[in-house]
Amino acid sequence: MGSRARSVSRPSCCPGSQMKKVPVIHDVPARDRLKKRRPRFLPAWILLTGIAVAIACQALYFSWIVMAIRGNRPLIGDAVVVYGGDPSRIPAGFRVAEEVSARWIVFSGSDDAAIREGRRRMTGRCSVQVVGGAYTTDQNARTVVPVLKKAGVKSAILVTSWYHLPRAYFLTRLYAIGSGIEWSYASAEPVPAKWWRRPEFLREFPRFWGSLFRVGLSLVGVHNWPRPSGFKVCAETFNVQRKIKNGRVRCQVLTFYI
Q: Dihedral through CA 54, CA 60, CA 62, CA 66, nearest 10?
A: 180
- Position 102 scores a pLDDT of 87
- Position 86 scores a pLDDT of 82
Q: How do strand 155-160 and strand 182-187 relate by DSSP bridges?
A: parallel
Burial environment of residue 31 by CB neighbours within 10 A (0 to 12, 13 to 18, 19 or more): exposed
Q: Which domains does the chain have, with CATH numbers?
A: 52-254 (3.40.50)
Omega prior to 146 cis, within 30 of 0: no
For residue range 25-55, list pLDDT tens digits in order. 555 555 555 555 555 666 778 888 888 999 9
- Position 88 scores a pLDDT of 85
Q: Kindly report the pTM of this predicted structure.
A: 0.71
- Position 81 scores a pLDDT of 93
Numbers of helices and strands, H then E, in the chain: 8, 9
Please give the average pLDDT of every successive group of 10 residues along the chain, which has 258 residues. 50 53 53 56 79 92 89 80 87 89 85 74 77 84 89 91 94 91 91 92 93 88 65 37 40 30
- The string of DSSP letters for 79-108 reads EEEEESSSTTHHHHHHHHHHHHT-SEEEEE
- Rounded distance, CA 58 to CA 64, Å? 10
- Position 245 scores a pLDDT of 42
